[in-house]
Amino acid sequence: MQLKIVQAGEPVLRAVARPLLAEEIGLDETQQLIEWMRDTMRDAPGVGLAAPQIGLPIQLTVIEDRAEYVKDATPEILAERERYPVEFQVIINPRIVERSEEQAEFYEGCLSVAGFSALVKRSRTITVECLDQTGAERRIVARGWHARILQHEIDHLNGHLYIDRMEPRSFTTLENFSRCWKQMSIAEARKALGIEA
């Protein structure tokens, strides 16, 4: 089943989502929701989907970065972004418990800000404590693009969108991103945009 993804302006995207109770995680309805969220994310396609994006104010997100999503990317682009496939993960009630001071800046998009992208700085490495779809405690240490996905999705659970953190001069349509900025290094893009280092 494909769920409707709500767009910027919906109040649920600006509210702090409530934690899921332990007894809620094992419910058939929750497990079905996780499957629908996975299918909706893949259909979009996207690398993450948080429950607020489908109108539900609960601390639940799914992520997955499939190899097919970057099949046309150059090895240099993949290395710069530290991007590698990430298996399907369910993240419930997450907390970022460690984050590196070192940051990385790349273009991000969002299924709830459809059709646009912008440069966003995020911690290069983070550690997340959460529950998985069985209710088991998990500790995830992520680097590069995986860390970026987690931070983006956890932001959704706290009422934030990437546009709150973006470099305003870099905001672009996806069409113009593909045409003008996609193959540039971040340093080249910042220079072309007139953004100071």
pLDDT of residue 73: 81
Q: Mind listing the pLDDT tens digit for each residue in 7-66? A: 999 999 999 999 999 999 999 999 999 999 999 999 999 999 999 999 999 999 999 999
pLDDT of residue 78: 86
| CA separation for the pair 121, 79 (Å, rounded) | 17
Task: Establish whether 153 is a catalytic residue.
Answer: yes
DSSP assignment, residue 139? E
pLDDT of residue 197: 63
CA atoms within 13 A on the CB side of 43: 11
pLDDT of residue 72: 83
- For 11-168, CATH gives 3.90.45.10
Average pLDDT over every residue of 115-123 = 98
**122, pLDDT greater than 70:** yes
**63 in Cβ contact with 48 (< 8 Å):** yes
pLDDT of residue 183: 84
DSSP assignment, residue 2? P
DSSP 27-59: SHHHHHHHHHHHHHHHHTT-SEEEGGGGT--BS
Catalytic one of 64, 105, 108, 153: 153
**120 in Cβ contact with 165 (< 8 Å):** yes
Q: Mind listing the pLDDT tens digit for each residue in 74-89? A: 888 888 889 999 999 9
pLDDT of residue 65: 96
| CA separation for the pair 121, 166 (Å, rounded) | 7
What is the residue-averaged pLDDT of the chain? 95
Q: Mind listing the pLDDT tens digit for each residue in 166-196? A: 999 999 999 999 999 988 889 999 999 999 7
Domain boundaries, the chain: 11-168
